[in-house]
Chains A and B, each alone.
Chain A
Amino acid sequence: MGQYAYVCSMERGVEKIRVLVANRPRLMREVVLATISDQPDIEVMGEITDDTDIGQVVEQSKPDFVIIALDHMDQRPALCDDLLARHPEMKILALAPERNSSVFFWSVMNIRSARVESSEAGILGALRGKTQLADAVASVRFQ
């Protein structure tokens, strides 16, 4: 499966995928919550309305995934670097509200990324590790 391994749980078959939702604007955050909250294999750890709290909440809740906002498609959010440096086992999904693409970030020695479709199938596929990352990695360039 691509170049990362899940710490979570679906592979162990018992635990749920733990997701922290921290994207903006509010409507998009609620849209994400509506998409994932009724999935039996996903546990929403909470939602964050202010990015400044995110480090602390991640520290406490230890999510498998954090969903954040992506303001520029060609620029990796600084938040992503900070979080993955401190929690290399975690994955980040960054959503651009006005686009049909989102970007999935994870860390294996350095930060990798892949583009994911902003749709229910795309988001759930990424959270469940079903995204075909090997082909997608080269398609995204970040500063």
Chain B
Amino acid sequence: MQQEVYGYWLPLNVSAHGEVIDQLINVLHVFMLALFVGWGVFFIHCLIRYRSGANPTATYDPIKAKLSKYVEIFVVVFEAFLLVGLSMPVWSQFKADLPAESEAVEIHVMAEQFAWNVHYPGADGVFGRKAPQFVTPENLLGLDPDDTNGKDDFNSINNLHVPVNRPILIRLTSKDVIHSFKVPVLRLTQDAIPGQEIPFWFEATKTGGFDIACAQLCGLGHYRMRGQLNIQTQADFEAWLAEQVEEEDDGGFAF
């Protein structure tokens, strides 16, 4: 299983937006390789053909390099195509157009040294109010004890469960320093900046368990700030949610 997901190039893609990104990365690398090889052949040809042994007298006049002009123009046009044709649409569609809250599954992720607090709204579907002054070892999210909306909320530490084929809207914050939420199989990186709440979204297309990593140096435990992304079918996801809420009822106050 692991062999198939991860390898020496792009890992398996399980996001709806990732396909275009993979296409962009692959097209771009073919372009880069072609440019480098073409240019390299010319360069090596020059090194051999014009070594002092083979060409004792250099030519003063520059060669008329029409081809290089065409190549340069081609590079400009191609870069413009990549930019306007491939990169910008992904960004504007993916970053600017957040899904409507009614359609999306909303989850709050709060990063801290060195864990991901994943905040689910519980059975009522409403997030309780959070504030830094309420943070205790038992209440890592800092949920306001007076807010009734927060009573059934729960914190799934380092475990992000999402349903497949539905837009997932995440509101990302950080308690302490800058972290970065990165999931290679989702083709996704998003910094978590203290003092800001950053919304982003994705839609997973395959079920399975994958790594979440921190991509921004956040201290001595940066390397082990690993989370688990569990992409489940809608039924499994709902069952999991119900189970968590039940545990919440049994265990009482366990944020």
Verify that A and B bind, or say they do not.
no
Which residues of B does A touch, CB under 8 Å? none
